[in-house]
Amino acid sequence: MLFRYLFILLILLPIKAFALIEVDITRGNLNPLPVAVSPLAIDKSSKENFNKILKKKNLGSEISKIVENNLKQSGLFNPLNKDAFLQEPDIANLKPRFEDWNLIKAQALVTGKVTFVDEKLRVEFRLWDVLAGKEMMALAFTTVPSNWRRVGHIITDKVYERLTGEKGYFDTRIIYISEEGSKTNRIKKLAIMDQDGFNNKFLTLGNELVLTPRFSPTNQMVTYLSYFKNLPRVYLLDIETGMQEVVGDFPGMTFAPRFSPDGKKIIMSFAKDGNSDIYTMDLENRIVERISNHPSIDTSPSYSPDGKFITFNSDRSGYQQIYVMSSNGKNVKRISFGNGLYGTPVWSPRGDLIAFTKLHKGKFYIGVMRTDGTGERLLTENFYQEAPSWSPNGRVLIFYRETKTNSKGEGFSAKLWSIDLTGYNEKMIKTKTDASDPSWSSLLSN
Amino acid sequence: MNRNIIISFGLHTLLVIITAMSLPFLAKKPIDLPPIVSVELIQITDKTNIPFAPKAKKIIEKVKEKEKKLVSEQAPPKKVKKLKPDAVPLPDEKIEKIKKIKDEKQNPEKVETEIKQISEFEKKELFDTNNIAALIDKSKVESAETNKKLDKVTQDQNKEMDFGGLTLSEEDALKAQIFGCWSIPLGLPFNEDLLVRIKLQLKPDGSIIKTEILDHARMNKPGQGFYKVLAESALRAIKLCQPLRVPSTGYERWKDMQLNFDAREMLEG
């Protein structure tokens, strides 16, 4: 009997002795990651050449500033002050002294160099994990010197992707409606700029009223609505060639044309026989197809990224709410059930969320919900704001916000704002004029 | 006849005008936009193998030397270990010594009963040469007994702790420390398995000897890029936090440890 107990004890003791302690880490911090962006090294002759062409004294430093600014704007990174750097930019040719970067609490480091090769701009950059003391990524590319701002955006995209696990959104453009003049007599022009507000260009003169520009998810095409002799007309604009064409004239109230995920169709709502429904138009053969057919007002359609579903808003329940249906118009299902009115639903490029505008008790909210209507989260609240548009990675929303006027009708302004899905990183995007109705392009370097 | 020709001409002209007006590309010049130049990215990691900066090399060597020194300086705890073999002599020697003690003792019976009181297992562990002196000196017998009893109690407790996990407060301290160091990558997908298990080998002061990602194979699987990012963030957290807040005693029980980094709770909010 004693031997039996001893035997069991002998078996159990080692199991107990070698049981590995497990600790579950279920929380972390959402603080921005400290990143050091070392100015890109540049040799003397390259510096002189770029100065002649671009009028930039130190192109390496200028590009690193773009990277730094982008990372900061994302809210996920904290670029460290360059004054604290202990190593010179010449580290582009050497492995960094990680202890020096560790000392200033950098967790990631971007180094690189810029050279002038055959009239072109060649850039090499590396991303280092300071704590692990290893290289995480090393890339090089050559482009025309005038593309130098894009170089900064591309570097940021790559760094962002490597550190966060999802694609970036920095090498993109935003198309919007530029507004000038008093509230009652606004001149509205179509305008385009880089996502950081630089390289602003006006695409129309302001003679005609332009509304709701929307980028194609696949290429650099834009569709927008313009009034020609008080008749709504849908246009297509090719950003790469600058050519534009009329897609068609539509009677009655036409709203918000938007591309299908493959870019081959346009979906919009317009009124026919006094009833506003959702229609698609094939861009190749211009055949118009009715998708929804209901006596209520159906507007603001937006495709899911796989093209199988459409979200839209309708007042068929008595109040404006968000609905989802199959792309053929069947299986209509209401998904918003909260208090207030819901509008402008936009399906995320990731497919997991729908962004919307909500009006409740006189205040406007920008929010997101899952595609089945659960998990509603209101990200921002204001006097008047609407028209959310997703960044190509589905992480950030851009929208516009208007300010209240005083008793004399003064003080009105409309500005573009962005907010990320956490709801913390809310930022105004600087534009030369007032701005509304923004739409985010896909990545230019796809 | 002429009238009909004029009407026809007029109508045709009107038709051309209407067509021209409804085709804006005839009236509007193409918009002047900067061209989008395609950019081709090349991996340069394999093509170049850049060396360490000369200063960095020296510093790294110095650090390595320091680490070596530190290892030798950490000898004191080993001394304790060395004492154990001294304290547990080989069976033959032990018997001889006990015999000697018995011979020299004025009252050997007492010692015998004392040895009988403890089990064979404990006897090996608790037998201490320091106590032999006490056994020789009759006046010290009582104090030796008390010492033995005290040793017995503490060693039993330690043994129990060696077999168990961390206490709640120890675990909380460690968790709180790592919570502060772990920057969760925010771009992770919500609907994926976001658990990274890392096995650690620790020094007595809580610094890291070795880390091992247990599901390492997953890092290179297609479509699992986010896992690599998550695993790297967890490794950064460990490195940033070291030395870890480990208990001051019971090194044997926590020298190997597994940390399960789970981002789901934070990201699903």
- Whether A31 contacts chain B with CB within 8 A: yes
Q: Each residue of B77-122: pLDDT tens digit?
A: 444 444 444 444 444 444 444 444 444 444 444 433 333 333 333 3
Quick one: pLDDT at residue A349? 93
The boundaries of the domain holding residue B117 are: 75-163
Q: How many CB atoms lie within 10 A of CB A225?
A: 22
H-assigned helices in A55-194? 59-74, 98-103, 148-164
Pairing relationship of beta strands A288-290 and A275-282 according to DSSP bridges: antiparallel
Structural domains in chain A plus CATH codes? 33-164 (3.40.50.10070), 173-440 (2.120.10.30)
Tokens of A269: 């709502």
CA distances for A423 relative to A69, A396, A419, B108, angstroms: 20, 9, 6, 81
Q: ipTM of this model?
A: 0.70
- Between the alpha carbon of residue B177 and those of residues A197, A211, B145, B250, B263, the distances in Å are 40, 53, 43, 20, 16
Dihedral angle over CA of A158, A176, A200, A143, nearest 10: 30
Taken as a whole, chain B contains a residue count of 269
DSSP B113-131: HHHHHS-HHHHHHH--HHH
CA distance A405 to chain B (A): 35
* Residue in A381, A308, A314, A377 with CA at minimum distance from that of residue A342: A314
Residue B58 lies in a domain: no
- What is chain A's length? 446
Q: Cβ distance A358 to A375 under 8 Å?
A: no
B19 occurs within a structural domain: no
Chain A from 397 to 416: CB within 8 A of any B CB: none
Q: Is B22 among the domain residues?
A: no
pLDDT for the residue A2 = 59
A278: β partners? A269
The residue ranges of DSSP E strands in A205-307, in sequence order, are 210-215, 221-228, 231-238, 244-249, 254-259, 265-272, 275-282, 288-290, 298-303
Q: Radius of gyration of chain B from Cα atoms?
A: 39
B225 found inside a domain: yes
| Together in a domain, B264 and B234 | yes
What is the CATH number for B246?
A: 3.30.1150
pLDDT tier at B21 (50, 70, 90 boundaries)? Answer: low
Domain co-membership, B172 together with B262: yes
Query: What backbone phi and psi angles, to 5 degrees, belong to A428?
Result: -90, 140
Which residues in chain A (52-111) have CB-CB distances under 8 A to chain B? 76, 87, 91, 93-99, 107
pLDDT of A106: 92
Measured between alpha carbons, how far is A308 from A286 in angstroms, rounded to an integer?
Answer: 21
Residues B101, B128 share a domain: yes
User: For residues A49 and A398, is the Cβ–Cβ distance under 8 A?
Assistant: no
Contact B45 A220 (CB under 8 A): no
Q: Classify strands A134-143 and B42-43 as parallel, antiparallel or unpaired.
A: antiparallel
Chain B interface, mutation test: which of A2, A16, A27, most B Cβ atoms within 10 Å? A27
Task: Give the tokens for residue A48.
Answer: 């002189």
**The pair of three-digit structure tokens given for residue A407, joined into one six-digit string:** 């008793």
Q: Which of B133, B163, B193 is the last residue of a domain?
A: B163
In a domain, B10, yes or no: no
pLDDT at position B135 is 44
Q: How many domains does chain B divide into?
A: 2
Contacts with A20 from chain B: Cβ below 8 Å? 199, 256-258
Residues B130 and B180 in one domain: no
- B172 and B261, same domain (yes or no): yes
One-letter amino acid of A138 = A
Taking contacts as CB-CB distances below 8 angstroms, the residues of chain A near B236 are 107, 129, 131-132
Tokens of B158: 């330690």
Angle at A169 between CA A156 and CA A32, to 5 degrees: 60
pLDDT tens string for chain A (446 positions)?
A: 556 666 665 555 544 455 788 999 988 887 888 999 999 999 999 999 999 999 988 999 999 999 999 999 998 899 999 888 888 766 667 788 898 998 998 999 999 999 999 999 999 999 999 988 889 999 998 999 998 999 999 999 999 999 988 889 999 999 999 999 877 788 999 999 999 999 999 988 888 888 999 999 877 889 998 887 778 888 898 888 888 888 877 766 667 889 999 999 999 988 887 788 999 999 988 899 999 999 999 999 999 999 999 999 999 999 999 999 999 999 999 999 989 999 999 999 989 899 999 999 999 999 999 999 999 999 999 999 999 999 999 989 999 999 887 777 677 889 999 998 888 889 999 998 999 999 999 998 76
pLDDT in the model for residue A19: 75
Residue in the block written with tokens 């109705």: A437
Residue pair A194/A153 in contact (Cβ under 8 Å)? The answer is yes
CB contact under 8 A, A91 and B23: no
Look at B260 and A25 and tell me if their CB atoms are within 8 Å: yes
Taking a C-beta distance cutoff of 8 angstroms, is the pair B27, B20 a contact? Answer: yes
Which of B36, B236, B266 has its CB closest to that of A220? B36
CB of B259 less than 8 A from some CB of A? yes
- Return the amino acid letter for A237: L
- Say if residue B197 is in the same domain as residue B151: no
| Closest CA of chain B from A334, distance in Å | 23
How many angstroms away from the CA of A203 is the closest CA of chain B? 6
Tokens representing A215 are 């980028």
Please give, rounded to a whole number of angstroms, the shortest distance from the CA of A262 to a CA of chain B. Answer: 21
What gap in Å lies between CA A287 and CA A265, rounded to an integer?
A: 10
Return the percentage of chain B with pLDDT > 70, whole number: 45
Considering only CB atoms, A24 lies closest to which of B41, B163, B262, namely B262
CB < 8 Å from B in window 225-264 of A: 235, 237, 239-246
Residue B223 lies in a domain: yes
Q: Residue B138: pLDDT above 50? A: no
B51–A95 C-beta distance less than 8 A = yes
Q: Label the pairing between strands A384-390 and A377-382.
A: unpaired
User: B31 in a domain, yes or no?
Assistant: no
Instruction: State the residue for tokens 């300086």.
Output: B73
At position A12, the amino acid (one-letter code) is L
The verdict on a CB contact (< 8 Å) between B262 and A142 is no
Which H helix or E strand runs over B43? strand B42-43
Verify that B106 and B152 share a domain, yes or no: yes
Nearest to A323 by CA among A306, A342, A338, A305: A342
Give the C-alpha separation, B59 to A206, whole Å: 64
Nearest to A26 among B36, B254, B265 (CB): B265
Q: Is residue B32 part of a domain?
A: no
Looking at B121, B138, B163, the residue that finishes a domain is: B163
Q: Using the CB atoms, write b or e for A273-294: b if 16+ within 10 Å.
A: eeebbbbbbebeeeeeeebbeb
**Portion 178-207 of A in contact with B at CB < 8 A:** 192, 199, 201, 203
Q: Is residue B145's pLDDT more than 90?
A: no
Q: pLDDT at position A186, please?
A: 85
Same domain, B145 and B85: yes
Contact A139 B51 (CB under 8 A): no
Instruction: Give residue for tokens 């593309």.
Output: A147
Domain boundary among B112, B139, B163: B163
Of A56, A17, A24, A42, residue with least CA distance to A115: A42
Helix (H) or strand (E) holding A130: none
Q: Is the pTM of this model over 0.80?
A: no
d(CA A257, CA A347): 14
Say how many CB pairs under 8 Å bridge A and B. Answer: 209
Distance from CA of B29 to the nearest CA of A (A): 8
What is the C-alpha to C-alpha distance for residues A255 and A237, in angstroms, rounded to an integer?
A: 17
Nearest by CB: A140 against B42, B190, B258? B42
Contact B184 A29 (CB under 8 A): yes
- Which residues touch A195 (CB under 8 Å, ≥6 apart)? A153, A169, A170, A172, A173, A174, A391, A440
Q: Identify whether residues B174 and B236 lie together within a single domain.
A: yes
Question: Distance between CA A41 and CA A1 in Å, rounded?
Answer: 79
Contact (CB<8Å) B188/A165: yes
Q: Does the beta carbon of A20 lie under 8 angstroms from any beta carbon of chain B?
A: yes
Instruction: Kindly calculate the radius of gyration of chain A based on its CA atoms and give it in whole angstroms.
Output: 27
pLDDT of residue A233: 86
Q: Is A208 on the interface with B (CB under 8 A)?
A: no
Same domain, B110 and B133: yes
Per-residue DSSP letter, A306: T
CB atoms B262 and A94 under 8 Å: no
Q: For residue B244, give the amino acid letter.
A: L
A357 token code pair = 């505008």
Same domain, B189 and B244: yes
Q: Contacts of residue A91 in chain B, CB cutoff 8 Å? A: 53
Where helices occur in A240-346 by DSSP H, the ranges are none
Choose among A37, A19, A23: nearest CA to A111.
Answer: A37
Using CA coordinates, name the residue in chain A closest to B158.
A17
CA distance A159 to chain B (A): 12
pLDDT of residue B108: 42
| B56 with A23: Cβ contact below 8 A | no
Q: Tell me the shortest Cα–Cα distance from A96 to chain B, in angstroms.
A: 7
Q: Does B27 touch chain A (CB under 8 A)?
A: no
∠ CA B242-B246-B248, nearest 5°, is 125
B121 with B204, same domain?
no
CB contact under 8 A, A140 and B190: no
Q: Which 47-76 residues of chain B touch chain A by CB within 8 A?
A: 48, 50-53, 55-56, 59, 63
Record the tokens describing residue B124, joined without a space. 């090996």
